[in-house]
């Protein structure tokens, strides 16, 4: 790549904002590793020493990282301990030395050989958890090879200047080391807007683009980059003109965000007096602060998985209880919606039996999994119920409900837990609201049967879209079909809302759609009662709600519901927003006016 | 449980090479913590075993691995309820076995 030509690549906008700065490549697995044969015993002895020193250096690096880990990620520190031990394991350490001595391999090659052997050992295992631990082995080996090859291991914690991080992917271990003050932006080659990196970036308000294929190959260390986390655009070595343009946009954006954030505490009420809820989706209790700062009136979705996945062992009831209690106390008197475990068996860690599933998305997951492993479920329900006694603001929400049967089953189990608690004289909220997520087409079809059995609905559009259209959006071959504005999806939303209202229960929407400003008019028009989204989207969405007219939105929704393709709807929605809220475009999608032709919405569905 | 034959072979050689010599102290244990020997527990075992000079072998279903190798332990796969044999051979065999017994009895500090 030569210095004068700028290059634009596209990814998925994962966390809004514009970052302009130098690239810092967190490249893994693509270093040049010299391989050669040693000549002479002296060379062998030297090489052994070089290897031993590299391991010692890797150890001290790992120790240093361990010390710097933020307290909320203590569990990860323990995993680093495992890596430390792997470095000294006979199968790696002794084996590498043996390759140096016996085969006269240089140290890098020796480590590669012993890693290869270890990998074989792991790949033969039929336990998926155990097999997945090869990641620890690779990480440990990689570190030593990098030290040997004279390339310091790119530790996020080592970055000394403000930079834009470029990586194939950010592991949770990387994410915990992100230095908020020094990270201008993040670009990864894989991932979607719900991947770990995206969530972390959004919660830290760092502009991020994910799924930017080949980014690490096209971008070199130190390149000047413009990263637009709203549109997913990355400009490598931009021209003066681009830079000027984006600096201005950046300023404008910051000013705009500051301004709307100042008004974020105002109610989400349309110009013509229609009030809706503005709630936050959060994953860890610490996010409550961001939620409140951004004007959340409630927690519309507390994802409880993080708590289960981030630890090596099964979280005990006490730990869950403390977590829910803290959340409840922090938000009180505002409601807190706790969603019960929403995971597939494949995501559960060591403490869980492995299942052979060819299609986990349609497998034993979420509420099904909970109903199957009753003790696991009861454990969580007990913790939730106990916490509900504290401030009486907890709502219970079931994910992936497919029919009324699951509601009955859950209620039975809930009753059992309640009886048990009463017997032990442990208090709980008798009237804790009980809701169902609508994210499976069958739930929409029987929404009228579900509604009388629950206290609220919450539409989980991320899954509803995938199950309705029948696509996995992380599958690049069909990702273009991920169309939130597909007429089928819109009809389902309407059907669920209508069924809920018929039965007199509120209907929330907690998918990503709720946080997309572009969708505000259509969702208002579909009569969603409550918008629950990631905290940073709240000011923008609330701002648009306050500037909308419910009457207009209803008329608009009726018009849109008659359209036949997602493209038609998309265009119409964009036109509407552009006309009503021009500054949204000017500030968040600067490209729309300017240079490159950028596809409109992030999932690019341009074909007919 | 299905095991790759190569894998089995490696373990067997480890076992045979040591079985040929003087007798070792052997004790049976049941993995009592709910999660079994996962990576972190394996790390605990290795840390304790590593303090002793004796050779320590951990055997499950006829497969023996070194108690001082985290990779061996991570690939042995011992879920909750597994029965394993620990043998220690060397000058401090009794102490080693006692220390490991304490670890197993405490369920590795886990539920």
Question: Could you report the per-residue pLDDT of B15-57, keeping only the tens digit for each?
Answer: 444 444 557 889 999 998 888 888 888 988 998 999 999 999 9
Does pTM surpass 0.95?
no
Q: Give the model's pLDDT for residue A48.
A: 93
- The confidence band for A501, taking pLDDT boundaries of 50, 70 and 90, is very high
Which chain A residues are Cβ-neighbours of B74 within 8 angstroms? 122, 130, 133
Higher pLDDT, A160 or A12: A12
- The confidence band for A353, taking pLDDT boundaries of 50, 70 and 90, is low
Which residue, among A228, A174, A160, A261, has the nearest Cα to A9 in the 3D structure? Answer: A228
Interface test with chain B among A79, A114, A117, A124, by most B beta carbons within 10 Å = A124
Q: Give the model's pLDDT for residue A311.
A: 55
Q: Give the model's pLDDT for residue A312.
A: 56
Give this complex's ipTM: 0.72
Q: Give the model's pLDDT for residue A498.
A: 98
The whole-angstrom distance between A237's CA and the closest CA on chain B is 44
Q: Give the model's pLDDT for residue A158.
A: 58
Between chains, do A82 and B42 touch, taking CB under 8 Å as contact? yes
Between chains, do B68 and A90 touch, taking CB under 8 Å as contact? yes
Write the residue in A78, A92, A130 that is nearest to B75 by C-beta: A130
The vertex-A538 CA angle with A385 and A176, nearest 5°, equals: 70
Q: Give the model's pLDDT for residue B2.
A: 40
The question of whether A76 is a catalytic residue gets the answer no
Nearest C-alpha in B relative to A352: B35
pLDDT digit string, tens, across residues A53-97: 999 998 988 888 777 666 555 666 777 788 889 999 988 999 999
Which residue, among A226, A321, A169, has the nearest Cα to A18 in the 3D structure? Answer: A226
- What single-letter DSSP state applies at residue A549? -
Between chains, do A91 and B72 touch, taking CB under 8 Å as contact? yes
Q: Which of A112-121, A390-399, A584-593, B19-28 has the highest mean pLDDT?
A: A390-399
The whole-angstrom distance between B103's CA and the closest CA on chain A is 17
Whether residue A548 is predicted with pLDDT greater than 90 in this model: the reply is yes
Q: Give the model's pLDDT for residue A329.
A: 94
The question of whether B38 is a catalytic residue gets the answer yes
Q: What is the DSSP string of B25-52?
A: EEEEEE--STT-S-HHHHHHHHHHHTT-
Q: What is the DSSP string of A114-177?
A: HHHHHHHHHHT-S-HHHHHTHHHHHHHHHHHHHHHTT-----GGG--S-EEEEES---HHHHTT
Q: Give the model's pLDDT for residue A393.
A: 97
Whether residue A546 is predicted with pLDDT greater than 70 in this model: the reply is yes
What rounded mean pLDDT belongs to chain A?
Answer: 86
Whether residue A24 is predicted with pLDDT greater than 70 in this model: the reply is yes
Whether residue A349 is predicted with pLDDT greater than 60 in this model: the reply is no
pLDDT digit string, tens, across residues A128-187: 777 777 878 888 888 898 888 775 555 565 566 789 999 887 766 566 667 667 889 999
Between chains, do A86 and B3 touch, taking CB under 8 Å as contact? no
Whether residue A445 is predicted with pLDDT greater than 60 in this model: the reply is yes
Which residue, among A209, A307, A280, A246, has the nearest Cα to A11 in the 3D structure? Answer: A209
Q: Give the model's pLDDT for residue B98.
A: 92
Q: Which of A450-454, A532-536, A592-596 has the highest mean pLDDT?
A: A450-454
The whole-angstrom distance between A400's CA and the closest CA on chain B is 27
Between chains, do B40 and A89 touch, taking CB under 8 Å as contact? no
The whole-angstrom distance between A320's CA and the closest CA on chain B is 15
> With pLDDT > 90 as the criterion, what percentage of chain A qualifies?
51
Residues A150 and A460: their CA atoms lie apart, in Å, by 48
A313 token code pair? 């062992």
Task: Give the phi and the psi of residue A504 in degrees, each rounded to 5.
Answer: 75, 25
Between chains, do A126 and B1 touch, taking CB under 8 Å as contact? yes
């Amino acid at each position: 790549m030569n210095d004068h030509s700028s290059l634009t690549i596209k990814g998925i906008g994962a966390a809004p904002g514009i970052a302009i700065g130098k690239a810092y490549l967190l490249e893994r697995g693509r270093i040049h590793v010299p391989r050669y044969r040693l000549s002479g015993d002296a060379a062998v002895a030297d090489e052994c020493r070089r290897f031993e020193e590299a391991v010692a250096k890797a150890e001290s690096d790992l120790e240093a990282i361990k010390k710097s880990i933020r307290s909320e990620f203590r569990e990860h520190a323990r995993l680093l301990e495992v890596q430390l031990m792997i470095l000294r394991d006979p199968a790696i350490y002794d084996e590498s030395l043996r390759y140096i001595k016996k085969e006269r391999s240089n140290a890098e090659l020796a480590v590669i050989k012993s890693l290869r052997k270890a990998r074989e050992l792991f790949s033969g295992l039929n336990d998926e958890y155990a097999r997945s631990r090869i990641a620890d082995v690779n990480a440990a080996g990689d570190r030593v090879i990098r030290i040997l090859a004279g390339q310091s291991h790119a530790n996020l914690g080592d970055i000394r200047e403000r930079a834009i991080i470029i990586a194939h992917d950010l592991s949770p271990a990387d994410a915990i080391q992100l230095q908020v003050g020094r990270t201008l932006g993040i670009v990864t080659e894989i991932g979607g807007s719900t991947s770990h990196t995206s969530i972390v970036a959004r919660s830290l308000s760092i502009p991020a683009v994910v799924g930017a294929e080949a980014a690490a190959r096209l971008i070199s260390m130190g390149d000047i980059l413009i990263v637009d986390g709203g549109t997913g655009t990355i400009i490598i070595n931009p021209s003066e003109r681009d830079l000027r343009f984006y600096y201005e946009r950046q300023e404008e954006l910051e000013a705009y965000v500051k301004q709307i954030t100042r008004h974020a505490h105002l109610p989400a009420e349309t110009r013509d007096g229609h009030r809706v809820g503005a709630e936050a989706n959060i994953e860890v209790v610490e996010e409550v602060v961001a939620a409140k700062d951004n004007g959340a009136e409630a927690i519309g979705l507390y994802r409880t998985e993080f708590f289960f996945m981030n630890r090596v062992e099964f979280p005990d009831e006490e730990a869950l209880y403390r977590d829910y209690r803290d959340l409840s106390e922090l938000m009180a008197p505002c409601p807190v919606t706790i969603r019960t475990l929403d995971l597939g068996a494949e995501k559960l860690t060591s403490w869980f039996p492995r299942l052979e599933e060819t299609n986990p998305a349609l497998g034993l997951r979420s509420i099904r999994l909970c109903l199957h492993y009753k003790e696991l479920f009861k454990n969580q329900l007990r913790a939730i119920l106990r916490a509900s006694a504290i401030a009486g603001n907890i709502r219970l929400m079931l994910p992936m409900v497919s029919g009324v049967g699951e509601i009955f089953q859950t209620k039975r189990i809930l009753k059992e837990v309640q009886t048990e608690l009463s017997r032990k004289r442990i208090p709980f909220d008798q009237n804790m609201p009980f809701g169902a997520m609508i994210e499976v087409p069958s739930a929409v079809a029987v929404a009228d049967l579900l509604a009388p059995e629950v206290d609220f609905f919450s539409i989980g559009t991320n899954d509803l879209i995938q199950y309705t259209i029948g696509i996995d959006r992380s599958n690049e071959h069909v990702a273009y079909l991920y169309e939130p504005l597909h007429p089928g999806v819109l009809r389902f939303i309407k059907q669920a809302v209508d069924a809920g209202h018929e039965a007199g229960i509120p209907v929330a929407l907690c998918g990503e759609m709720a946080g997309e400003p572009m969708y505000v008019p259509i969702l208002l028009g579909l009569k969603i009662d409550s918008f629950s989204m990631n905290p940073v989207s709240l000011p923008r969405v609330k701002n648009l709600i306050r500037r909308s007219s419910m009457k207009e939105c209803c008329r608009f929704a009726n018009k849109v519901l008659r359209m036949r393709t997602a493209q038609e709807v998309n265009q119409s929605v964009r036109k509407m927003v552009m006309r009503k809220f021009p500054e949204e475009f000017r500030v968040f999608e600067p490209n729309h006016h300017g240079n490159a032709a950028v596809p409109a919405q992030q999932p690019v569905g341009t074909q007919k | 449980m299905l095991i790759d034959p190569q894998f089995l072979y490696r373990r067997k050689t480890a076992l045979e090479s040591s079985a040929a010599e003087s007798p070792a102290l052997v004790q049976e244990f049941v993995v009592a913590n709910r999660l079994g020997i996962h990576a972190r527990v394996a790390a605990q075992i290795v840390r304790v075993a590593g303090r002793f000079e004796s050779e320590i072998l951990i055997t499950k279903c006829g497969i023996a691995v070194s108690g001082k190798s985290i990779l061996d332990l991570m690939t042995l796969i011992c879920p909750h309820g597994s029965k394993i044999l620990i043998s220690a051979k060397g000058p401090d065999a009794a102490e080693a076995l006692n220390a490991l017994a304490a670890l197993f009895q405490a369920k590795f500090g886990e539920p």
